[in-house]
Amino acid sequence: MRNYIIYITVMLLGGFSAFAQEFNLPILNQYITDNPFLISASYAGIGDCWQIRGTGFEQWVGIDDAPSTQTISIDGRIQNRSGVGAVLFNDSNGATSQQGFQGSFAHHLTLSEYSRQYLSFGISYKYTQFSIDSSEFNRSLLAAEGDINTVDHNFDVSVLYRWKTFFITLNAINLLNKPLEDFSINEPGNLTNYYAYTGFTFENVFKKLQFEPSVLYRQFSSDLRSTLDANFKVRKFFQDSYLWGGVSVRSLIDQDFKPLSVSPMIGIKKAKFYFAYGYQANVNEVSGTDNSGSHLISLGIDFGCKKSTCGCTY
């Protein structure tokens, strides 16, 4: 029971409740590892190759039953202007867990080939199985008669605008309410979240360097929480590969931009193979708990490469 008390305390200090996990594809720092498709379906099919990416994220290593997330994603182009993708995910968080599948379709339009302006639309269907094991908790506190096992079917929509090296994507996650008959009447039924991800790249052509600042804003309708990720990446290009390094700082906007974590990351792309590692250090009260931080590993491979005739999918 002591481990569960520590777990609940850490969750509250971090600004995330156990129930906030339900019916969401867990977005931590995986998207920074050159995989924005995890944030926005409108990225499906952008690029010359099909991409497979597998990511494991272990949080607060050293604390029993700490959050653990695994995702496998694939996306690629099916026509000159369209793409599809899918994500399998598993997420455990103490007594709660969820497993799910997300299938996505995106279509890309050219606004101006001369000024390199493109507009993309994406839609996703998501199936999630969510469960709570209440055997170690006070059931009256959870207002649940025994364990909870329920399934949710939901949809996400997104739009992506690109102008040269500038990008911005707006996303509405979980358009449908959840089935309240499986939960307490005090549970919020609105699952809709909103993401905005934007940034740009600029290059030093002579040194083959590329710089990419970006930010990710997220708002959760159920409890009005909001977070902001401020990211910065540097890529160094070689003949058939590149190295990159970066840092991401997450803050809680609803708590006056209170810093939550700092995440340095590194990665390499060699031919068609990809590897990245990230470490997340808590910088609020959670940093005093007995854990060695959080660790992320991403592996990937590209295949089926073929250049499109439309600049909208470059």
Per-residue pLDDT reduced to its tens digit, 278-313: 999 888 655 555 666 889 999 999 999 998 889 999
Q: What is the pLDDT of residue 10?
A: 39
Q: Give tens-digit pLDDT for 88-137.
A: 999 988 778 899 999 999 999 999 999 999 999 999 999 999 888 776 66
Q: What is the mean pLDDT of residues 24-52?
A: 91
User: Percent of the chain having pLDDT more than 90?
Assistant: 59
Q: What is the pLDDT of residue 85?
A: 98
Side-chain half-sphere CA neighbours of 238 within 13 A:
9
SS3 assignment, position 177: coil
Q: What is the pLDDT of residue 150?
A: 86
Q: What is the mean pLDDT of residues 240-267?
A: 91
User: Percent of the chain having pLDDT more than 70?
Assistant: 82
SS3 assignment, position 153: strand
Is residue 124 a contact partner of residue 156, using CB atoms and an 8 Å limit?
A: yes
Least confident of 52-61, 205-214, 287-296: 287-296
Q: Give tens-digit pLDDT for 11-29.
A: 433 334 344 456 677 777 8
Q: What is the pLDDT of residue 156?
A: 96
Q: What is the pLDDT of residue 66?
A: 80
- Residue 65 clears pLDDT 80, i.e. is over it: no
Give the residues across from 160 on adjacent strands: 120, 169
Q: What is the CA radius of gyration of the chain?
A: 20
Domain boundaries, the chain: 2-313
Q: What is the pLDDT of residue 9?
A: 39
Quote the CA–CA distance of 157 and 105 in Å, as a whole number.
10
Please tell me the CATH code under which domain 2-313 is placed: 2.40.160.40
Q: Is the Cα torsion angle 30, 33, 39, 44 positive or negative in sign?
A: negative
Q: What is the pLDDT of residue 105?
A: 98
Q: What is the pLDDT of residue 95?
A: 79
Q: What is the pLDDT of residue 60?
A: 77
pLDDT band at 196 (very low <50, low <70, confident <90, very high): very high
Quote the CA–CA distance of 157 and 121 in Å, as a whole number.
8
Higher pLDDT, 4 or 165: 165
Mean pLDDT for the chain?
85
